[in-house]
Structures are given as structure tokens and as C-alpha cells.
Chain A
Amino acid sequence: GNSVTQMEGPVTLSEEAFLTINCTYTATGYPSLFWYVQYPGEGLQLLLKATKADDKGSNKGFEATYRKETTSFHLEKGSVQVSDSAVYFCALDNAGNMLTFGGGTRLMVKP
């Protein structure tokens, strides 16, 4: 079956620090990969996606590259802001099946 594993949080960083949130997956075939973000008090919203190997998704300064050889889709940002404090979810969709979500990683950015 499909599964997504994320690093446990919380991740606490100072403003302008470099961010990496690890995500690895298990799936047959060639899934599409996603990062969703949940800001405090809100629902999830799509942050970025990649639909095939070596694709790089990017949005709002965040990036993630679909690495089939390591089955990973790590989220990175070069300089985080306090407003990036949120919970980040990695997810995959395998050939039209339901999205499978990771457990979520809480990011806290201190000024």
C-alpha cells in the first residue's frame, strides 16, 4: 500500500534560518507528490506539487524535488519568516487513488 513518512516536529527555527522538512514515501508506480500547509485556525491548502520524477515544485519561496531514486520529496526554504509558522503535510496520489497524507510537521519560527 501507499504510505508517507515525515519527520516529527515541532521544528523550531529562528527567522531567516534554512528549513528542511523530510518526506519519504512508499508507493507502487509513479505517484504525484504534494505539500499542503495548514496555518493556525485554518484548513489545509496546497503549497506545491510535482507529478513526475525530477520535477521541482515551488511556491512562496518553498521548493521540493521529486526524487524517485530515494523516494523522497523534502521541503526546503532558504530563509523562513515568522509567517511560515504552520503545520506542513506531505501527501501522495497514486494513479487516481485517494490522497495519502503524512503525519504532519509543525514549524515554529521565532523572531
Chain B
Amino acid sequence: DVKVTQSSRYLVKRTGEKVFLECVQDMDHENMFWYRQDPGLGLRLIYFSYDVKMKEKGDIPEGYSVSREKKERFSLILESASTNQTSMYLCASSSEGGGRGNGNSPLHFGNGTRLTVT
């Protein structure tokens, strides 16, 4: 089974801190994604990557950046955390090169990191 591991289950940070959320997948997947999950809003895509050192903005990239130096690892960075970034963050991966979570290759999700910014 594919395993997507997020480094922290819960994080509490202060406003203005730089925050790193780490995600590692063990199935050699090309595509990796960062979503945030908020009640009533479902999942919203922040950034995704379809190859090492490649990244593309999703629907809500403002206030975030990402890094993909190795194929298995995709990091989400909050340059200066703010209270409106308090949320559940979900990392996902999929195997289809160029196909970003479509019908032939479902997304595999980590268990999430609940970030609270005070």
C-alpha cells in the first residue's frame, strides 16, 4: 500500500513564525499536492508538483511556498504564519505523470497536520 506520511499531527505556532510542513511518500509517485481542509469549504489546493524541483500554484497559493528537492518529499512553507492559516493541511500523491489525480490514478492522502496559529 502507498504510504503518505506527514511529519506532524498537531502544530501550534505563533503569528509571524516561519512554519515547515513535511510530507514523504514511499511509492515513487510523480505528483504531490498540498491541500487545506476547512469546514464547509472542502479541500482547496494550495500547490502541487509533478516532478522534482517543479511546482505550480493551486487555487489558494497566497502566503505559502513549497519545495520539492527529492521525488519522495514535498514541503509546504508558511513564510510568516497568520491566524487565518489555522487549518488542517493534507498532503497527497498520485502516480500518473502529468495526470493530476484523475480517474486513472487516485490521490493517496496523508493523515493531515492540524496547524493552529495563535
Q: List A contacts of B92 (CB < 8 A).
A: 43-44
Question: Beyond A32-B103, A96-B100, A98-B58, is A43–B109 a contact (Cβ under 8 Å)?
Answer: yes
Rounded to whole angstroms, the CA-CA distance of A45 and B110 in the bound complex is 9
Of A6, A8, A51, A99, the residue contacting B101 (CB under 8 A) is A99
Q: Are A51 and B103 in contact (CB under 8 A)?
A: yes
A65-103 interface bits toward B, Cβ cutoff 8 Å, 1 = contact, 0 = none: 000000000000000000000000100010011110111
Q: How far is the CA of A44 from the CA of B33 in the complex (A)?
A: 13
A32 CB → nearest B CB, Å: 4
Please list the 7 inter-chain residue pairs (A to B) with the smallest Cβ-Cβ separation, ordered nearest first: A43-B109, A32-B103, A46-B106, A101-B42, A101-B43, A51-B103, A103-B42
26 CB-based A-B contacts, threshold 8 Å? A4-B42, A8-B40, A32-B102, A32-B103, A41-B111, A42-B111, A42-B112, A43-B4, A43-B90, A43-B92, A44-B43, A44-B92, A46-B107, A49-B103, A49-B106, A89-B42, A89-B43, A93-B102, A96-B99, A99-B45, A99-B100, A99-B107, A102-B42, A103-B40, A104-B40, A104-B42
Residues of A bordering B, CB below 8 Å: 4, 6, 8, 32, 34, 36, 41-46, 49, 51, 89, 93, 96-99, 101-104
User: What residues of chain B have their CB less than 8 Å away from a CB belonging to chain A?
Assistant: 4, 37, 40-45, 48, 58-59, 90, 92, 98-103, 106-112
